[in-house]
Structure 1
Amino acid sequence: MVSEAADIALFGAYLVLLAAVAVQYYRGAIPRQRLTMLVGLCCTWLAYGVLQLTDGGPLPSAGPLNLAFDGLSIVLLVVGLYLLYRWYRHREGDEKAPEPGD
């Protein structure tokens, strides 16, 4: 397992990465299509980070706060997977993988 300090550092790094993606999109350096993929990845990583904060991490493992963070982790995971699915289904034709049988 990873130490508590590393869990907090991972969570902080995922938040910084998400903020960097938002700034780059605001500046026009990232196209909307790529933004969907990057936000989906950040959400799935944040889901893991939030889960590590409560599961043997620095936050207490009992009580409603733990349930709230676990619920937030599940929501982030679902949102991240949905955004990745949406990116995969709507990416441009030159990036598509070959169809089966080609």
Structure 2
Amino acid sequence: MPKPKTIILNFKTSDGKTLSAEFELSDGESAFELWKKLPGNEAKNETQYFAEQKGAQGVKGDKGDKGDRGAQGEKGITGTTGAQGASIVSVSVQVKENP
């Protein structure tokens, strides 16, 4: 059974603030493991799995017609320069195994 974990990230910014983010995750089954559970796949191997992921090459399609050139758009106005924001100066990561 997958073991759930809690991940905690603490970002320290150049203006002295700490921004935290926390989320939970768990190890799950791979796509191959899920595919093996499908009826008829129980005895198949990874080579067979990869072979089934790609279909046969299709026939080449006809070349499309060239489109007309669009009109030149109007020049937009220049925006004002924004204030310099704080930057991240360090990150700490905690991983907790959940019961």
Name the TM tier (shorter chain). Answer: under 0.3
TM-score (norm 1): 0.20
Report 1 or 2 for greater relative contact order, CA contacts < 8 Å, sequence distance ≥ 6: 2
TM-score (norm 2): 0.21
Larger Rg: 2
* Structure with more helix by fraction: 1
* Structure with more strand by fraction: 2
